[in-house]
């Protein structure tokens, strides 16, 4: 039983690491161009940067989602998209003319699948974090955020050469590693012990 639980937990962690999280600020008069194209299985997080909104699917959306009313600045709503297709959405309080967009969900391409295999090790880490990139990776950006969203490290990547990052003086906790290339954005979670 314990072995089965361990395997299920490990599978869940690996599945989460293979997906991307997209962050959107959500505020009054943001307009009608809050559009994203994402892969199936990706999560979108809307963060309220002005008060009193909803995020809800519009007519014709491939998926149904609704945050309900959330008032305070800093509120968040997330949805993981799994159905291929178009997902128009809007703020039910301010209307589609003031706050709307479309999340388009596509199947993961072979190039994006290869890119999703960038790796971080060891994880958990206490001294040196090793980051490896796939062969087809050429240029992009590399950032690490702490769990509060504070930027901790940023680097420009000009090749698929591995990175070694000394984290021995960093605070213990959960961090997010984000890699952006021409083809995709990928976020993975690491734990510093």
Q: How far apart are CA 186 and CA 115, in angstroms?
A: 8
Containing domain of residue 157, as a range?
Answer: 113-192
Q: What is the pLDDT of residues 20-59, one digit of tens each?
A: 788 888 988 887 768 888 888 889 999 999 999 999 999 9
Looking at the structure, do residues 71 and 120 belong to the same domain, yes or no? no
Omega within 30 of 0 (cis) for the link into 50: no
Higher pLDDT, 10 or 180: 180
- Residue 185's closest CA among 24, 14, 22? 22
49 and 78 in a single domain? The answer is: yes
Q: Which of 78, 106, 134 is the last residue of a domain?
A: 106
Rounded to the nearest integer, the mean pLDDT of the chain is 82
Q: Is 30 helix (H, G, I), strand (E, B) or coil?
A: coil
Among residues 72, 106, 140, which one ends one of the domains? 106
Domain membership of residue 8 (yes or no) is no
- Domain shared by 69 and 117, yes or no: no
How many whole angstroms separate alpha carbon 132 and alpha carbon 163? 7
What pLDDT does 15 receive? 41
Residue 9 resides in a domain: no
Spatial distance between the Cα atoms of 158 and 167, rounded to a whole number of angstroms: 22
Q: Residue 174 belongs to a domain with what CATH number? A: 2.60.40.3080
Same domain as 131, residue 102: no
Least confident interval from 75-79, 91-95, 143-147, 157-161? 157-161
Of 67, 62, 60, nearest to 38 by C-alpha is: 62
- The number of domains in the chain is 2
Task: For 111-162, write each residue's pLDDT tens digit.
Answer: 555 455 678 889 889 999 998 877 766 677 889 988 788 899 999 887 778 8
Is residue 4 domain-resident?
no
Asked if residue 161 and residue 97 are part of one domain, the reply reads: no
pLDDT of residue 8: 40
Residues 29 and 47 in one domain: yes
Question: Is residue 5's pLDDT more than 60?
Answer: no
Rg (CA), the chain: 18
Residues 102 and 39 in one domain: yes
Residue 160 pLDDT: 75
pLDDT > 70 fraction of the chain, expressed in percent and rounded: 81
* 64/100 same-domain check: yes
């Amino acid at each position: 039983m314990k072995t089965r639980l361990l395997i299920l937990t490990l599978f869940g962690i690996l599945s989460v690491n293979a997906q991307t999280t997209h962050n959107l600020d959500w505020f009054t008069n943001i307009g009608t161009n809050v559009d994203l194209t994402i892969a199936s299985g990706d999560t979108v997080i809307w963060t309220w940067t002005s008060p009193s909104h909803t995020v809800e699917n519009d007519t014709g959306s491939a998926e149904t989602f609704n945050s309900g009313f959330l008032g305070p600045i800093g509120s968040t709503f997330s949805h993981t998209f799994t159905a291929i297709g178009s997902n128009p959405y809007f703020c039910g309080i301010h209307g589609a003319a003031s706050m709307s967009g479309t999340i388009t969900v596509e199947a993961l391409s072979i190039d994006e699948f290869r890119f999703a295999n960038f790796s971080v090790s060891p994880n958990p880490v206490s001294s040196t974090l090793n980051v490896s990139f796939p062969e087809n990776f050429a240029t992009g950006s590399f950032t690490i955020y702490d769990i509060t969203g504070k930027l901790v490290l940023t680097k420009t990547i000009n090749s698929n050469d591995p990175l070694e990052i000394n984290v021995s003086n960093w605070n213990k906790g959960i961090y997010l590693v984000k890699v952006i290339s021409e083809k995709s954005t990928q976020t993975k979670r690491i734990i510093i012990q």
